[in-house]
Structure 1
Amino acid sequence: MAETTPLIRQPLFVVAVFGAAILGAGLALVTGRLAGKDRAEVAQCAMAAETLDRLRPLARGELAAVKVPSTPQPLPPLSFEGPDGRRLTLADFKGRTVLLNLWATWCAPCRQEMPALDALQADLGGDDFEVVAVNIDTRDPEKPQEWLKQAGITRLAHYRDPQAKIFQELKSAGKAFGMPTTLVIGPEGCAVAELAGPAEWHSQDAVAFVRAALGR
């Protein structure tokens, strides 16, 4: 029996080492891919750095609470429904500057700033810019559209996420702390400004800020 024990253990040891090597190689491959993706996102966002230089001195007055990060920020793959019910992601807006606003009918500050967002879209909206106001009401899907109609909001497309996952994803990324939540996203798909709370988005300060984000 003393002679057979090593013969049994040796193959098991070899299998264990071989399995560990395969596992390690797999983890290294996955880690490498993730690291490569992170590096690509950082490099892509670095292209928006000069936008931050234009925005920082303009975060004042009506937009004094806006935070302009030290570097452009990658965002999670946010998704929501478009006016036709089709699922969209931020990638669908790549090449355009977006003012992403999360709102709900139960949020009084959200309702208060919607007319200004509507006016901002009317003045600056076009091929290179859109106010993307995403409603996150989780009940009564007809209520947001009814409220927009009653409030005379006619220029904003009706985007929505009835599961409110977009808020949770931004919260997990440290980009949402309450309602409303607003991000300015450059054409590279990276956040160049963020705001927790309402603002007068059609004020002189806000229009100048968005124009600077557009490089106008």
Structure 2
Amino acid sequence: MTEKRPFRLPSARLVAIAAIAGLVCGAGVVTIRHIWSEGQVQGAGVAQAGLCEGTASRIASLKPLLKGQVAAMSANERPRIVPLSFKGPDGAAMSEASFTGKTVLLNLWATWCVPCREEMPALNALEREKGDDRFEVVTVNIDTGDDAKPQTFMGEYGIDALKLYRDSSMGVFNALKKEGLAFGLPATLLIDDKGCLLASMNGPAAWDSPDAKALVDFAKAK
């Protein structure tokens, strides 16, 4: 099978398309589930502050690396763990705790999102080169329905280093939207090995670029 080739990344037009697509996606979902009660959320905030102790200084050191192809990433301004919920390649439920001990570049995408489709080969290349027991590119597909469409896309585009994480309910998108982290697709978070948010961005990027690799090397360093 001939491998399909992507268009050039990034582009302002693709970013605009992604933002519009994300707004449509968000408008189509009217129900957001509340997992914690108010008291539990307050308790979680205290726990997060303890787990993310020292994250602020690490983010300050990371800021000079948010340049060039990853200049659109915004450093997190307050220590926190972002709640995540989706399914793993085997269909098992996963959360942010599933990746404790591993730095993660979390990316939300859909087959109907043109900028998402165009940046996937770069994400695949980043995982192939940098992925190990201390770092993973976690791409979460939010297409509704079964796994057939994203699986077909990944096969046609030669996406062979990335695992198929899924959330057909789009709940993870809405959770990040509520946190002010996802306004469209693609949406990407850089999360450290304790599950603490380091930086985030909306829109595509050249994840196989030297700028992206330098950022990942810094984030995964102990």
**What TM-score, normalized to structure 2?**
0.79
Inter-CA distance 64–145: structure 2 relative to 1 (3 Å threshold): same
Aligned-residue CA RMSD in angstroms? 1.6
Q: Is the 8 A contact 2:48 2:79 kept in 1?
A: no
* Correspondence for 1:106: 112
Query: Which structure 1 segments of 5+ residues have no match?
Result: 1-29
Of 93, 97, 115, 1:91 maps to 97
Which 4+ residue blocks in structure 1 deviate beyond 6 angstroms? none
Q: Is the 8 A contact 2:45 2:80 kept in 1?
A: no
Measured in 2, the distance between the counterparts of 1:71 and 1:167 equals 21
Q: Is the 8 A contact 1:48 1:188 kept in 2?
A: no
* Correspondence for 1:167: 173
Inter-CA distance 31–136: structure 2 relative to 1 (3 Å threshold): closer
Q: Tell me by how many angstroms 1:34 deviates.
A: 4.7
Measured in 1, the distance between the counterparts of 2:58 and 2:125 equals 23
Counterparts of 1:50-129 in structure 2, within 5 Å, are 50-76=57-83, 78-129=84-135
- 1:120-147 deviation per Cα after TM superposition (whole angstroms, max 9, x unaligned): 0011101000000000001353010011
Q: Tell me by how many angstroms 1:73 deviates.
A: 2.8
Measured in 1, the distance between the counterparts of 2:38 and 2:119 equals 43
Q: Which has the higher helix share?
A: 1
Matched to 2:101, the amino acid is G
| SS of 1:120 mapped into structure 2 | helix
Could you say which structure has the greater relative contact order, defined with CA pairs below 8 angstroms and 6 or more residues apart? 2
Matched to 2:50, the amino acid is A
Q: Tell me by how many angstroms 1:117 deviates.
A: 0.4
Whether 1:40 aligns to 2:47 is yes
Measured in 2, the distance between the counterparts of 1:39 and 1:140 equals 38
Measured in 2, the distance between the counterparts of 1:102 and 1:31 equals 27
**What TM-score, normalized to structure 1?**
0.81
